[in-house]
């Protein structure tokens, strides 16, 4: 018999199961050590036996399907790191593990990575795909047995996902608001299977007209057209300029960093103080800018750990751009990134933007590594909108900056001016980024106010910055804990608060307090005097109440007090009222953005207000 010359082919497929399983187990342990040392991400010791068993079963399946031991080892070497490193990276940066919805955003993940990160992920992905295809040997009976068992598992998960989810909930437990804890108690493979079954179980039919009607009555909307409504008397003509600032936050709050000077421009400090230091309450931390955008443009909260633009915005929607375009506004979005990132080409069209200027529409003349500077972006936007401002047609000018992404590089024309003593090197880089972002912003605002003194201007940060794995820099200054399940109620507020400034033309800055981003469109329309009925008024809450939904929980600001309602298990009257409100909002979100839009076909419901 011809002998194999491969050094990896040291056992035969039929006789060395112990070696295959032993290799799988040792490699699993190595990856656990790597993710712990490199990312500070590790599962609970009590979860290791079940997680190891899951990996051994996966290894056994791959070994059965492999045409030779060499192919088996090659596939395992690239497949397991792909799973574990991507999950650990997301955990460390964004505070949560890989979820089923993340697979919708794979394209965007490849677009945002660069350097060694892009090379590593691309190499692992391509290698895994090629090796899996080359490995398969389906001529043996046991290979078909393995295929049959895999098929049985997939059929079970896809056909009776609610049963699978219920059984796994009883076995592992589940916390909707703390997916980090879920992962640590389950291990990676069971976590992915568990949440995939839950994802499928939650794919319900579109809301019915009756369900929409009940939700409408719960929220007591004012968007239905009165019989005597005079649309001509409620047509605003003022321009609106909305500036979304990438990762814009106040680094001075990092008390332990000992910054050499205040990064924020004094002009920004003064303007922000005039709003009584109002805050936008973002639905995301460290990334997923598109969710902050959706809320600020459409007036409904994002409640799940997924990018709304990627999979849940499937209908043309009456968001702020479309609402204004219907009354003759020109609506323009500017963002000097790859056009299709976070599905923005389709998402911007669906929310009503008539024009979208992306990376290919800008001269990349002033770069901070891969990111166009804000100064250049603002200058080019001004050049483009100047003729529109002069022709008398009102416009919605939406600008999303790109400079400010981690790891906060500066170009040669922006030397560092601030030093920091933080153990996390990115703190100093971020402080210098904000130094330049705030100054370039204020230069832009001053010009904008000169050429459009009556314009309504709003600016806010999309989310807090990423400053080290597991909230490292924030924990260093006691702003956040290193683990989400150790957050106090105040910490949940801190992790969502970014500066918010609204300038009401010549009337000046407007104090709005701590404003959830989904409330912004309705507030802006109110300042414009636009009384036309709109679904964006549906999410109004009482004046003394702010509700910031987060996945699996809500934190509520009422009369200056913060209450966190977790997992729909809090029995206080306030949390029960908020849960009732959230159920109605989520039902209408499904109907408006992915369902049949029965809401837009209804006649006014009976008056029945929300009591919290």
Smallest CA-to-CA distance from 366 within 392, 340, 402, 398 is with 402
Name which residue leads in pLDDT, 535 or 198.
535
Between CA 349 and CA 511 the distance in angstroms is 32
pLDDT per position as a tens digit, 509-534:
999 999 999 999 999 999 999 988 88
Q: How would residue 177 be classed by pLDDT, with cut points 50, 70 and 90?
A: low
pLDDT over 90 percentage in the chain: 43
Between CA 598 and CA 193 the distance in angstroms is 34
Taking residue 122's Cβ as centre, other Cβ atoms within 10 Å add up to 12
Half-sphere exposure of 376 (CA within 13 A, CB side): 18
The confidence score (pLDDT) of residue 604 equals: 45
Between CA 567 and CA 565 the distance in angstroms is 7
Name which residue leads in pLDDT, 170 or 363.
363
171 to 54, 195, 267: CA distances (angstroms) = 15, 14, 56
Name which residue leads in pLDDT, 293 or 360.
293
| pTM exceeds cut of 0.85 | no
Predicted confidence (pLDDT) at residue 249 exceeds the cutoff of 80? yes
Mean pLDDT of 127-137: 72
State which of 4-18, 101-115, 587-601 shows the largest mean pLDDT. 587-601
The tokens describing 65, both together, are: 């399907």
Phi then psi for residue 170, to 5 deg, are -70, -35
The confidence score (pLDDT) of residue 8 equals: 42
Smallest CA-to-CA distance from 334 within 271, 288, 399 is with 399
Between CA 468 and CA 406 the distance in angstroms is 10
**Mapping DSSP to helix (H, G, I), strand (E, B) and coil, where does residue 548 land?**
strand
**DSSP secondary structure string for all residues of 241-264:** EEEEETT---GGG-GGG--SS--S
Predicted confidence (pLDDT) at residue 382 exceeds the cutoff of 60? yes
Smallest CA-to-CA distance from 359 within 328, 421, 396, 401 is with 401
The confidence score (pLDDT) of residue 2 equals: 45
Name which residue leads in pLDDT, 333 or 598.
333
- Which residues are within 8 A (CB) of 550 and not within 5 positions of it... i.e. 6 or more apart? 177, 283, 303, 492, 496
Mean pLDDT of 575-586: 89
Predicted confidence (pLDDT) at residue 609 exceeds the cutoff of 50? no
The confidence score (pLDDT) of residue 3 equals: 46
**DSSP secondary structure string for all residues of 55-66:** HHHHHHHHHHHB
Taking residue 15's Cβ as centre, other Cβ atoms within 10 Å add up to 8
590 to 195, 201, 537: CA distances (angstroms) = 20, 16, 16
| Lowest mean pLDDT across 77-81, 116-120, 268-272, 320-324 | 116-120
Between CA 243 and CA 141 the distance in angstroms is 62
Between CA 527 and CA 236 the distance in angstroms is 10
Mean pLDDT of 547-571: 82
The confidence score (pLDDT) of residue 569 equals: 66
Mean pLDDT of 226-240: 64
Smallest CA-to-CA distance from 520 within 254, 298, 241, 208 is with 298
Between CA 358 and CA 459 the distance in angstroms is 20
What value does the mean pLDDT of the chain take?
A: 85
Tell me, letter by letter, the H, E, C secondary structure of 343-394.
HHHHHHHHHCCCEEECHHHCCCCCEECCEECHHHHHHHHHHHHHHHHHCCCC
Report which DSSP code applies to 509: B
State which of 226-230, 359-363, 437-441, 547-551 shows the largest mean pLDDT. 437-441
Interior angle at CA 292, CA 286 and CA 296, nearest 5: 155
pLDDT per position as a tens digit, 72-119:
888 888 888 888 888 888 777 666 788 776 776 666 555 555 666 667
Phi then psi for residue 418, to 5 deg, are -115, 140
Q: How would residue 225 be classed by pLDDT, with cut points 50, 70 and 90?
A: very low
Phi then psi for residue 332, to 5 deg, are -130, 135
| Domains of the chain (ranges, CATH numbers) | 17-201 (no CATH), 239-301+314-511+519-532 (3.40.720.10)
């Amino acid at each position: 018999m011809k002998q194999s010359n491969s050094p990896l082919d040291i056992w035969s497929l039929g006789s060395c199961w112990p070696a295959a399983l032993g290799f799988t187990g040792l490699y699993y342990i190595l990856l656990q050590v790597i993710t712990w040392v490199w990312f500070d991400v590790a599962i609970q010791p009590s979860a290791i036996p079940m997680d190891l068993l899951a990996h051994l079963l996966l290894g056994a399946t791959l070994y059965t399907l492999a045409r030779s031991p060499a192919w088996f080892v090659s596939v395992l070497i690239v497949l397991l790191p792909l799973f574990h490193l991507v999950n650990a990276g997301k955990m460390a940066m964004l505070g949560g593990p890989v979820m089923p919805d993340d697979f919708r955003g794979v394209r965007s993940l490849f677009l945002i990575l660069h350097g060694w990160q892009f090379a590593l992920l691309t190499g692992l992905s391509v290698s895994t795909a090629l090796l899996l295809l080359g490995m398969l040997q389906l001529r043996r009976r046991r290979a078909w047995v393995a295929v049959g068992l895999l098929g049985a598992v997939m059929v079970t998960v896809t056909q009776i996902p609610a049963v699978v989810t219920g059984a796994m909930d009883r076995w592992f437990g589940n916390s909707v608001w703390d997916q980090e804890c879920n992962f640590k108690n389950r291990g990676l493979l069971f976590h992915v299977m568990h949440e995939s079954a839950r994802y499928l179980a939650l794919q319900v039919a579109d809301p019915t007209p009756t369900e929409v009607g009940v939700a409408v009555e719960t929220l007591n909307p004012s968007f239905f057209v009165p019989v005597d409504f005079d649309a001509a008397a409620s047509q605003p003509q003022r321009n609106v300029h909305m500036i979304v600032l990438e990762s814009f936050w106040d680094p001075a709050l990092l008390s332990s960093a000992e910054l050499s000077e205040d990064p924020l421009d004094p002009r920004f400090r003064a303007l922000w103080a005039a709003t009584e230091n109002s805050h936008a309450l973002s639905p995301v931390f460290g990334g997923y800018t598109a969710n902050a955008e959706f809320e600020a443009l459409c007036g409904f909260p994002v409640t799940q750990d997924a990018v709304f633009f990627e999979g849940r915005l499937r209908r043309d929607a009456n968001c702020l751009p479309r609402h204004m375009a219907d009354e003759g506004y020109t609506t323009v979005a500017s963002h000097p990134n790859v056009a299709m990132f976070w599905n923005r080409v389709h998402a911007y069209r669906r929310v009503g933007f008539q024009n979208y200027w992306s990376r290919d529409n800008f001269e990349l003349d002033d770069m901070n590594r891969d990111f166009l500077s804000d100064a250049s972006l603002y200058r080019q936007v001004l050049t483009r909108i100047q003729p529109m401002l002069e022709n008398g047609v009102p416009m919605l000018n939406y600008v999303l900056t790109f400079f400010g992404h981690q790891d906060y590089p500066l170009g040669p024309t922006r030397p560092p001016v601030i030093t920091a003593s933080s153990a996390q090197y990115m703190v100093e880089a971020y402080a210098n980024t904000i130094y330049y972002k705030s100054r370039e912003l204020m230069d832009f605002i001053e010009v904008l106010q000169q050429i459009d003194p009556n314009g309504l201007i709003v600016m806010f940060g999309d989310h807090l910055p990423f400053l080290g794995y597991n909230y490292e820099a924030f924990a260093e200054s006691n702003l956040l804990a290193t683990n989400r399940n150790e957050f106090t109620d105040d910490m949940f507020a801190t992790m969502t608060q970014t500066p918010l400034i609204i300038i009401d033309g010549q009337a000046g800055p407007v104090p709005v307090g701590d404003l959830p981003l989904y409330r912004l469109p309705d507030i802006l329309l109110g300042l414009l005097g636009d009384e036309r009925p709109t679904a964006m008024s549906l999410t109004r809450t009482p004046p003394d109440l702010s509700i910031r939904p987060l996945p699996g929980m809500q934190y509520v600001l009422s009369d200056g007090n913060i209450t966190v309602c977790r997992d729909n298990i809090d029995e206080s009257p306030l949390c029960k009222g908020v849960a009732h409100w959230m159920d109605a909002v989520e039902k209408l979100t499904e109907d408006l953005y992915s369902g049949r839009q029965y809401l837009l076909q209804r006649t006014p419901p009976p008056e029945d207000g929300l009591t919290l």
